[in-house]
Amino acid sequence: MTNSPHRAELLFGTNLVAMVTPMRPDGTLDESGITRLVDHLLSTGCDGIVVGGTTGESPTLTDAELTQLISAVNAQAKNRARVIAGVGTYNTADSIQRARDAEAAGADALLLVCPYYSRPTQAGIVAHCIAVADATELPVMLYDVPARTGVAMEAATLIELSDHPRIRAVKDAKGDLFEAMTVMARTPLAYYCGIDELNLPYLACGAAGVVSVVGNFLAHRNAELIQAVKSGDLSYANTVQRSLLDIVDAVMRTSQGAVMAKAALTELGTITHASVRLPLIESPPAHLQRLAEAMDTLSMTV
């Protein structure tokens, strides 16, 4: 079986952003900030917005807040980008309800993380994913991120799950390129890189697109990278990727991606507050200085 990247573009987009969740200092959702951020993402070339994912602080969002967030993003995007809702939890029944609520709120697709903390067997992962995929008519992107969940989706598991008619893609934050290429070669699953540090190699190996944290404020550069690979200009793609090394390092390898992306968006004036919810805390001065230096030295043209 072969990949269907063009079909994946229709379902999920290619230049996806793992959107942060704008919040006020008191921790409530900042709807005006959500609106401004969606407009910013659309204006910078994002064609897929992932809401309620890890970068959106999903563990601390209530079911009602997730529905509110999806509705707000969907209303502002107005079909200009696909809206992918993160609905996965370690509780299958809760994940099913979140999936149904997301569908009712207007989501175009679901992001389903491997159940975390309980560390189920591979058979348990399969049963969980199928139960959630069966709950709605929406296409599903699996999210394989063993550093956070404690257990990986093995290649055989992904191959088995690819038989489900609504499981169509994988957000891969595992970083095993050989496994990714193997699954892409043996299934119709479209792959999306979920590791900003590895966007170029994943795209070069056949990934359909990216789900980027740095894309919150640099989606236009990711668009350049994707287009360069698509057109076969790997030299230019490498130039783009190299230009992003310092900013990716500052965002992804200091406090935490969600924390640093909010700090960058606040610095740019896109959102008003860099507030996060415990157990996350805002970036310390040293990390903010590192971010500022990376932003200052980043060339906005290549």
Q: Is 117 a catalytic residue?
A: no
By the 10 Å C-beta count (0-12 exposed, 13-18 middle, 19+ buried), 249 is classed as middle
Considering the domain boundaries, does residue 112 fall inside one? yes
Greater model confidence, 3 or 90: 90
pLDDT at 184 over 50: yes
CA distance linking residue 110 with residue 45, whole number of Å:
21
Domain containing residue 204: 5-232
pLDDT digits (tens, 9 = 90+) for 255-287: 899 999 999 999 999 999 999 999 999 999 999
Q: Is 143 a catalytic residue?
A: yes
Phi and psi at residue 35, to the nearest 5°:
-60, -45
Q: Which long-range contacts (CB under 8 A, 24 or more apart) does 269-272 make?
A: 270/36, 270/37, 270/40, 270/217, 271/20, 271/22, 271/30, 271/33, 271/36, 271/37, 272/22, 272/30, 272/32, 272/33
pLDDT bin (cut points 50, 70, 90) of residue 298 is: confident
pLDDT at 4 over 70: no
CA distance linking residue 282 with residue 261, whole number of Å:
11
Q: What is the pLDDT of residue 301?
A: 46
Tokens of 263: 């700090």
Phi and psi at residue 100, to the nearest 5°:
-65, -40
CA distance linking residue 135 with residue 46, whole number of Å:
28
Q: Which residues pair with 17 in a beta bridge?
A: 49, 212
Look up the CATH number of the domain holding residue 98. Answer: 3.20.20.70
pLDDT bin (cut points 50, 70, 90) of residue 5 is: low
Is the pTM of the predicted complex or chain greater than 0.85? yes
Give mean pLDDT, residues 81-89.
Answer: 97
By the 10 Å C-beta count (0-12 exposed, 13-18 middle, 19+ buried), 163 is classed as exposed
Widest distance between CA atoms in the chain: 50
* E strand residue ranges, the chain: 15-18, 48-51, 82-86, 109-113, 140-144, 167-172, 190-193, 209-212
Q: What is the pLDDT of residue 7?
A: 83
Q: Out of 2-16, 106-120, 138-152, pick the least confident.
A: 2-16
Mean per-residue pLDDT of the chain: 95
Return the percent helix, strand and coil in the chain, to nearest 5: 50, 15, 35
Considering the domain boundaries, does residue 244 fall inside one? no
pLDDT at 236 over 80: yes
User: Number of folded domains in the chain?
Assistant: 1
Tokens of 192: 């999306």
Residue in 78, 116, 117, 171 annotated catalytic: 171
Residue in 90, 116, 117, 143 annotated catalytic: 143
pLDDT at 199 over 60: yes
Give, as one character, the DSSP assignment of residue 191: E
Considering the domain boundaries, does residue 137 fall inside one? yes
pLDDT digits (tens, 9 = 90+) for 218-227: 999 999 999 9
Residue 260: its H or E element: helix 257-268
Q: What is the pLDDT of residue 1?
A: 41
